[in-house]
Amino acid sequence: MMLLKGRNAFTLVEIMLVVIIISALAAMIVPRLSGRSEQAKVAVAKADIQGNIATALKLYELDNGMFPTSDQGLMALREKPSASPLPRSWNGPYLEKNPVDPWGGSYVYASPGTHRTDYDLSSKGKDAESAQDDITNWQ
């Protein structure tokens, strides 16, 4: 049996080759994944506006005969409002957690709405300013 003497570790060339291969793979994969987190946040905001919060608002309206006012806001879905008009049959909480958009901002709620007759609900998005990139329930 023949043993190689002095061959206990990788050579510098072998290590460099592995680093180059890993770098090349990372260079191909990272650009494809970099925009995905922003797309995921937009999808979550759309799901909240068109699904989760919209369903909670409809349940609130079924129980109380009206949507929360703009002054009561979306917190009326978490805690029974103490401001007038008082809900007659509040059966909440209608949401499990505070309605915060994926960027950490508050959803913008108005009832009655200016774009829709029942309510307007939107997120200002990543830039936290009203702009064309807002996610809304009226478009």
For residues 12 and 44, give the distance between their C-alpha atoms in angstroms, rounded to a whole number. 47
A 10 A CB-CB count for 47 gives 13
Whether 1 has a pLDDT exceeding 60, the answer reads: no
Q: Do the domain assignments include residue 123?
A: yes
Q: Do the domain assignments include residue 57?
A: yes
Q: Do the domain assignments include residue 27?
A: no
Q: Do the domain assignments include residue 112?
A: yes
HSE, CB side, 13 Å, CA atoms: give it for residue 115: 10
Note the pTM of the prediction, 2 decimals: 0.72
Q: Do the domain assignments include residue 108?
A: yes
Q: Say how far residue 2 (Cα) sits from the centre of its chain.
A: 62
pLDDT category of residue 35 using cuts at 50, 70 and 90:
low
**Using an 8 Å Cβ cutoff, are 69 and 82 in contact?**
no
pLDDT category of residue 25 using cuts at 50, 70 and 90:
confident
Tally of domains within the chain: 1
State both tokens at 64.
């109380």
State both tokens at 112.
């009655």
Report pLDDT for 3. 57
For residues 114 and 129, give the distance between their C-alpha atoms in angstroms, rounded to a whole number. 18
Domain of 91: which CATH number?
Answer: 3.30.700.10
